[in-house]
Amino acid sequence: MKTQVTFRHFNGQHPKLHQAAEELAASFTKYNNHIISTNVEFINNTDKIVNFTVHLKEHTIAAEFASDDFHKSLNAAADKIVKQIHKYKDKKNNTKTNTKLKNIVNVFEESIKDEFDESFENEFDDE
C-alpha cells in the first residue's frame, strides 16, 4: 500500500505528524486488505484540517475533520475512515449474501416446479 502525506500552509517539517499519519494509514489494512493507496492532507488554516482519501480496489473513501489540534483532527478523520470501511465491507458482504440466497431460492423454485410438472403429468397419464 502506498501512502502520501501532504502539508499545506506549513513552515518547516513535521515528522511526528507524518509518522502518525503513516501509522494510521497502515492500520487501515487490518480492516480491508484491498487498499491500494492512502492520501493524507494536513491543512493549516484557522482550523487544523485533516483529509483522508483511501483508494480501495473498487471504491474510494474520503473523510475530513477540523479542530484546534492536528492530532485530534487526524484521529477523528481516521475513525471516520474506519467506520466507512466497515460500512462498505458490510454492504459488499450483504450483496454477496443476497446473491447467494437468490441463487438458492431459484434452485429451490426450479426443483419444486419440476416436481409439480412431474406430478401433474402423472395425474393425466393415469386417466
Name residue, grid cell 419444486. Answer: 112
Q: Residue 122 has what pLDDT?
A: 60
Q: Residue 55 has what pLDDT?
A: 97
Which helix (DSSP H) or strand (DSSP E) does residue 102 occupy? helix 70-126
- Architecture label for domain 2-126: 2-Layer Sandwich (3.30)
Rounded to the nearest 10 degrees, what angle do helices 15-27 and 70-126 cross at?
10
- Beta carbons within 10 angstroms of residue 117's beta carbon: 10
Q: Where are the domains of the chain?
A: 2-126
Residue range 22-72, pLDDT digits in tens? 999 999 999 999 999 999 999 999 999 999 999 999 899 999 999 999 999
If you write DSSP's letter for every residue of 66-82 in order, what string do you get?
EES-HHHHHHHHHHHHH
pTM, entire model: 0.74
Decide: residue 11, CB within 10 A, 0-12 exposed, 13-18 middle, 19+ buried. exposed
